[in-house]
Amino acid sequence: MDLDQKCIFCKIIEKKIPARIVHEDEHSLAFEDLNPQAPIHMLIVPKKHIADIHGITVADREIIGHLFFVAKTIAAQKGLDKSGYRMVINNGRDAGQTVFHIHLHLLSGRPFAWPPG
Ligand code: AMP
Ligand code: ZN
């Protein structure tokens, strides 16, 4: 795929565009959201391009599980496990997904309402 046609998160993973990276390993990258919806708002993404939840294959199960492990490790490192945090996946149009490279939102630093808007 031509670089210009690649999704924005693939470009961040390839360091073609900048991001405030908070964690990187072989299979995942975590970085601060450009338009934060809470005092702490990070995104955890697989390095493999998977568009959405329905793009997950049997072979991806370990990678997807790893995203949760990374999220909880970051949350614990930042002490967010004390106060709480919210993890969100927006999947598809009605959920407001805007970037079609699967990602976990990790939000913290304020109370969150339920049900979500
Ligand atoms: P979603 O709407 O669930 O697909 O979430 C996409 C998120 O990506 C939004 O919260 C955006 O603010 C965020 N975002 C888009 N472009 C960038 C970028 N270049 N760097 C960091 N976050 C971004
Ligand atoms: Zn991508």
List 41, 101, 103, 105, catalytic entry: 103
Length of the chain: 117
Structural domain includes residue 3? no
CA distance 97 to 34: 15
Tell me, using a 6 A CB cutoff, whether residue 99 lines ligand 1.
yes
Predicted TM-score (pTM) of this structure:
0.96
Interval between CA 46 and ligand 1 midpoint (Å): 14
Residues 6+ apart with CB under 8 A from 60: 46, 48, 50
Residue 49 Cα to ligand 2 midpoint, Å, equals 4
Contacts of 107 (CB under 8 A, 6+ apart): 37, 38, 40, 41, 85, 86, 87, 88
Q: What is the pLDDT along the chain (117 residues), one digit of tens a residue?
A: 555 678 999 999 999 999 999 999 999 999 999 999 999 999 999 999 999 999 999 999 999 999 999 999 999 999 999 999 999 999 999 999 999 999 999 999 999 999 998
Residue nearest to atom 23 of ligand 1 (CA): 34
Q: Is the CB of 13 under 6 A from ligand 1?
A: no
How many domains does the chain divide into? 1
Our answer to whether residue 103 is catalytic in this structure is yes
Element (H, E) at 30: strand 28-32
Q: Is 91 in the pocket of ligand 1 (CB under 6 A)?
A: no
pLDDT at 49: 98
Q: Is residue 38 part of a domain?
A: yes
CATH number of the domain encompassing residue 31: 3.30.428.10
Q: Is position 2 within any domain? A: no
Q: What is the DSSP pairing of strand 28-32 with strand 40-46?
A: antiparallel
> Which two tokens mark 32?
């601060």
In a domain, 114, yes or no: no
Q: Give the range of the structural domain holding residue 59, as residue numbers without chain letter.
A: 8-108
Token reading at 73? 């490790």
Return the pLDDT at 4. Answer: 61
The confidence score (pLDDT) of residue 113 equals 97
